[in-house]
Amino acid sequence: SSPENWRRADEFLSDVLVGHDPDLEAALAAQNEAGLPPIEVAPVSGKLLSLLTRISGARRVLEIGTLGGYSTIWLARAVGDGGEVVTIEAEPGNAAIARESIDAADLGERVAIRIGRAADVLPTLEGSEPFDLVFIDADKESNTVYLDWAARLGRPGTVVILDNIGREGEIVREDTTDSKVIGTREALQMLADDPRFDATALQTVGVKGWDGVALAVIV
């Protein structure tokens, strides 16, 4: 076992189970060309988002952290005709790239991109229909704030997915000074302690290295 083998095995799984996908590949090409960081979810994880959306029957999805729209496309396909994805992006340049890729994938009508800091945008979503699924993939320092909003904007049964909980195993280092690791660990503790959630987490290894994802349901 080695990181190189994990990467190759993940590529194999992507080839077999995801395969060639022109709209997703175009979204990644546009994102890379624009110089956005290559930190989108792995193909097999994008498909996991899609499957969780469909398994839960989610029609109204909230994404925190759009980046170039790669995961947004997975979610927007999964909500089906008449479904909707609200996705929040702090960087207007990222949002513009995402908008083009989402429209090119013919999913424009299902996706509303809200530009701004999520902490500012999330309160404006109060009072609308609850979200059925929330995917949190933004600045890790604010993870607990985003979990709180996921609970407030959801309903019992809402699925909550939190990206990047593994962080190369750094989450067990008590003396870490990495604010992303600290934010992630606080989020995991919140998922354990806050009675609004029932949660677990899985480590992942693959094209993105050693990381993981937390899954929760709102009680």
Out of Mg ion, ligand DHB, none, which partner does residue 9 contact, by CB within 5 to 8 A per kind? none
Between CA 57 and CA 54 the distance in angstroms is: 5
Classified as helix, coil or strand, 106 is coil
163 touching ligand DHB, by CB under 6 A: yes
151 and 197 in contact (C-beta within 8 Å)?
yes
- Does position 180 bind ligand DHB by CB under 6 A? yes
142 binds ligand DHB (CB under 6 A): no
71 sits near ligand DHB (criterion: CB under 6 A): no
Give me 106's structure tokens. Answer: 């013919």
Q: Which of 31, 72, 143, 164 binds ligand DHB (CB under 6 A)?
A: 164
Tally Cβ neighbours within 10 Å of residue 148. Answer: 15
* Residue of minimal Cβ distance to Mg ion: 163
Q: Which residue number, 132 or 163, has a Cβ lying nearer to Mg ion?
A: 163
Distance of closest approach, residue 67 Cβ to Mg ion, in angstroms: 8
Residues 73-112 that bind ligand DHB (CB under 6 A): none
The one-character DSSP state at 171 is G
Applying CB under 6 A, among 39, 96, 104, 121 the residue interacting with ligand DHB is 39
Q: Which residues bind Mg ion (CB under 5 A)?
A: 137, 163-164
Distance CA 158, CA 218 (A): 5
**Which of ligand DHB, Mg ion, none binds 180 (CB below 5-8 Å, type-dependent)?**
ligand DHB
Closest to 205 in 3D by CA, of 167, 160, 171, 161: 167
Is 137 near ligand DHB (CB under 6 A)? Answer: yes
Helix then strand count (H, E) for the chain reads: 8, 7
- Say if CB 48 and CB 114 are below 8 A apart: no
Query: Which spans of this chain sit near ligand DHB (rule: CB under 6 A)?
Result: 39, 137, 163-164, 180
